[in-house]
């Protein structure tokens, strides 16, 4: 007998949301980089408009360039004013009427007291904003496997949307679909879906933010916005439609960081049909911290993913039962977030995309394999945790990309 269609909620157990800001330095076209050295601090000296020209005396106008007249700034005049305080300039920002120099305390005071000077401020240092590799990406061995061939495969994310235009997420090769009333798939006012997508495919090598499992921006992505920005529940029937959208878009791997407590015969049959038709379905095991089953993760056609922390220990919130099949990092996972920011979130919602991302990465190197073969390889090569072999806490263990690729290189499909 068919059971009632359940409400499905996004699985999100938030610990911390860390928005990272980007610092920018603005310079004129003629600015030159001057390395800092010695004990003196470097400053920017802003001269009052026309003061550096006035410092040259009454004959100055006869040899001023057109640019100097327009900008009301003369390097020679600025140098003359600096010499009065025994200062050697390091650089000039002509368009802004600013000179740059290292100053000791006495020189600093002298310039501050000079009526020709508007203000003096410290020249703040700026640093390369290097990207970080979240611990989970290393744990699942993603950096050990080339993702150069991921353009031959597509992953689907069924969630709250996608922050299209996020500087750390792919902008090309991304398609999507949004359910009625939810706005565009390319927007995400919630952040959950963007976080999940970042774990799968955040861009590497761009010196910002984070790195995903597939970091070359070559992986195809299809986004289905099944939740609105408030993360309101959806239904099993909608989820079936969402996976059909993934299939129609050519996706081979589907991530579902969502779930509910009730099963459905229709949904179960649909999952089996999608899986038998060649799609690998991955879902979050649930965040109740109990042995209760969560769906769709607990259908046999779906890989149920438990969460572990950075010490490879099962997270206290991660559900444990006979359907848990594999594990992934899910505690304090740093990834892309709404409004082009970043956040550290926890939940089996965060563990699931690690497995989905690894599945796409491994499958991209062995495209002749079936979904069942990829699934078997991931399970056979997972890092065993807890009781030897499969157990209710970790399933077969923590997913490992390099181990799975090596396994298929030997055993083939």
- Is 29 known to be catalytic? no
- Is 192 known to be catalytic? yes
Smallest CA-to-CA distance from 309 within 261, 255, 358, 354 is with: 354
- Could you tell me which residues come within 8 angstroms of residue 50 by beta carbon, excluding any fewer than 6 positions away? 72
- Could you tell me which residues come within 8 angstroms of residue 186 by beta carbon, excluding any fewer than 6 positions away? 161, 162, 164, 165, 174, 176, 223
What is residue 306's three-state secondary structure? strand
CA distances from 335 to 7, 80, 193, 201, 285 (A): 27, 52, 11, 10, 20
- Is 366 known to be catalytic? no
Catalytic residue among 349, 354, 364, 391: 349
Distance of alpha carbon 385 from alpha carbon 395, whole angstroms: 8
Say if residues 102 and 90 touch (Cβ distance below 8 Å). Answer: yes
- Could you tell me which residues come within 8 angstroms of residue 125 by beta carbon, excluding any fewer than 6 positions away? 36
What is residue 251's three-state secondary structure? coil
Residue 108 parent element (H or E):
helix 105-112
- Burial string for 343-373 (b: 16+ CB within 10 Å, else e) reads bbbbbbbbbbbbbbbbbbbbbbbbeebebeb
Catalytic residue among 94, 123, 147, 159: 159
Say if residues 94 and 105 touch (Cβ distance below 8 Å). Answer: no
User: Based on the number of CB atoms within 10 Å of its own CB, is 280 exposed (0-12), middle (13-18) or buried (19 or more)?
Assistant: buried
Distance of alpha carbon 297 from alpha carbon 285, whole angstroms: 6
User: Based on the number of CB atoms within 10 Å of its own CB, is 411 exposed (0-12), middle (13-18) or buried (19 or more)?
Assistant: exposed
Residue 381 parent element (H or E):
helix 371-381
Give CA 138 to chain center in angstroms.
15
- Burial string for 1-29 (b: 16+ CB within 10 Å, else e) reads eeeebbebbbbbbeeeeeebeeeeeeeee
Catalytic residue among 192, 195, 222, 354: 192
Catalytic residue set: 159, 192, 349
């Amino acid at each position: 007998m068919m059971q009632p269609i359940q409400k499905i909620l996004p699985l999100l157990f938030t610990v911390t949301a860390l928005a990272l800001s980007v610092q920018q330095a603005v310079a004129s076209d003629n600015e030159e980089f001057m390395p800092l050295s010695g004990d003196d601090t470097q400053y920017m000296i802003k001269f009052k408009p026309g003061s550096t020209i006035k410092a040259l005396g009454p004959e100055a106008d006869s040899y001023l360039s057109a640019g100097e007249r327009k900008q009301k700034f003369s390097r020679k005049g600025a140098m003359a004013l600096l010499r009065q305080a025994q200062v050697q300039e390091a650089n000039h920002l002509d368009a802004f009427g600013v000179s740059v120099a290292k100053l000791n305390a006495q020189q600093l005071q002298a310039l501050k007291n000079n009526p020709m000077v508007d203000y003096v401020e410290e020249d703040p240092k700026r640093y390369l904003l290097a990207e970080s590799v979240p611990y989970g990406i290393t744990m699942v061995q993603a950096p050990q496997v080339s993702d150069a061939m991921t353009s031959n495969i597509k992953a689907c994310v069924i969630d709250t949307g996608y922050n299209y235009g996020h500087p750390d997420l792919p902008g090309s090769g991304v398609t999507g679909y949004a359910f009625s009333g939810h706005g565009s798939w390319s927007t995400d006012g919630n952040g959950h879906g963007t976080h999940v997508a970042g774990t799968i495919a955040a861009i590497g090598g761009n010196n910002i933010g984070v790195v995903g499992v597939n970091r070359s921006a070559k992986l195809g992505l299809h986004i289905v916005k099944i939740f609105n920005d408030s993360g309101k529940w959806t239904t099993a029937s909608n989820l079936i439609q969402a996976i059909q959208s993934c299939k129609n878009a050519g996706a081979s791997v589907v991530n579902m960081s969502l779930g509910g407590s009730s099963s459905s015969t229709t949904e179960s049959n649909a999952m089996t049909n999608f899986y038998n038709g060649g799609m690998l379905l991955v879902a979050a095991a649930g965040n109740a911290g109990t042995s209760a089953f969560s769906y769709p993760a607990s259908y046999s056609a779906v890989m149920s993913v438990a969460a572990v922390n950075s010490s490879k220990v099962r997270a206290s919130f991660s559900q444990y039962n006979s359907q848990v099949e594999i594990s992934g990092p899910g505690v304090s996972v740093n990834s892309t977030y709404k409004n082009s920011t970043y956040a550290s979130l926890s939940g089996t919602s965060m563990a699931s995309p690690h497995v989905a991302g690894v599945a796409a990465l491994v499958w991209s190197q062995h495209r002749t394999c079936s979904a069942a073969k990829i699934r078997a390889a991931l399970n056979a090569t997972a890092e065993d945790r807890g009781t030897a072999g499969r157990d209710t806490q970790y399933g077969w263990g923590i997913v490992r990309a390099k181990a799975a690729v090596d396994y298929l290189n030997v055993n083939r499909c």
